């Protein structure tokens, strides 16, 4: 069974926000809700770095552990999802999350897209796959279509990798091994 993960290579990320906009356009996310964000540190100074952050789909998700309603669950492939029919929007998950991933609609606590919203790894939600309800509450289900998440698919520099942890860690490891040694074909 695959284990889904994101890797963001900060040597490659140029802070273009393409991932953010792809996510929002693709899932029709309301303005003000950010399933994905680009964080820039040391802006304008030597050492400036940027990284694209969303829900990291943790193996042991703290959000799931603290959810009083039991609304957060993990699929067999590691993707962490929220059931918007059960979620009460209390915000415990936001306190527990090391990345600030959970998002809450600003206009009302029970907006059109439900209570808590976060990255779905483009895997929809608990509603029937490809149903109207799934699309409305959670967005596209690209994983069921056999596609990579929108954000990684959009990334121009391939800084953001998404998919089976075994596959993307191999891509990243090869990249790191070649990095800076001046060799093209031979890794070692």
Binding residues for another protein, rule: CB under 8 A, are 11-12, 14-18, 20-21, 24-25, 31-32, 43-46, 48-50, 156-158, 175, 178-184
d(CA 151, CA 6): 10
Report in angstroms how near the CB of residue 33 gets to another protein at its nearest. Answer: 10
Q: Are 45 and 174 in contact (CB under 8 A)?
A: no
Report in angstroms how near the CB of residue 12 gets to another protein at its nearest. Answer: 5
Phi, psi of 62 (to 5 degrees): -60, -30
Query: In 10 A of CB 125, how many CB atoms?
Result: 22
Report in angstroms how near the CB of residue 70 gets to another protein at its nearest. Answer: 33
- Nearer CB in complex with another protein: 45/60: 45
- Nearer CB in complex with another protein: 126/139: 139
- Nearer CB in complex with another protein: 59/181: 181
Query: In 10 A of CB 58, how many CB atoms?
Result: 18
């Amino acid at each position: 069974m695959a284990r889904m993960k994101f890797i963001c290579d900060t040597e490659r990320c140029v802070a273009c926000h393409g991932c953010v906009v792809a996510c929002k356009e693709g899932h029709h996310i309301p303005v003000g809700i950010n399933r994905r964000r680009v964080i820039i540190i040391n802006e304008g100074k030597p050492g400036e770095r940027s990284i694209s952050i969303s829900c990291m789909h943790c193996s042991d998700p703290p959000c799931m552990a603290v959810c009083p309603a039991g609304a957060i669950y993990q699929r067999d492939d590691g993707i962490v999802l929220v059931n918007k029919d059960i979620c009460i929007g209390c915000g415990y998950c936001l306190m527990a999350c090391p990345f600030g991933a959970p998002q809450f609609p600003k206009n009302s606590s029970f907006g059109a897209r439900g209570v808590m919203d976060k990255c779905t790894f483009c895997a929809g939600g608990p509603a029937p796959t490809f149903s109207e309800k799934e699309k409305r509450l959670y967005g596209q289900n690209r994983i069921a279509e056999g596609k990579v998440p929108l954000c990684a698919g959009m990334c121009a520099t391939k800084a953001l990798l998404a998919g089976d942890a075994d596959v993307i860690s191999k891509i990243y490891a090869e990249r790191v091994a070649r990095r800076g040694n001046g060799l093209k074909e031979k890794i070692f």
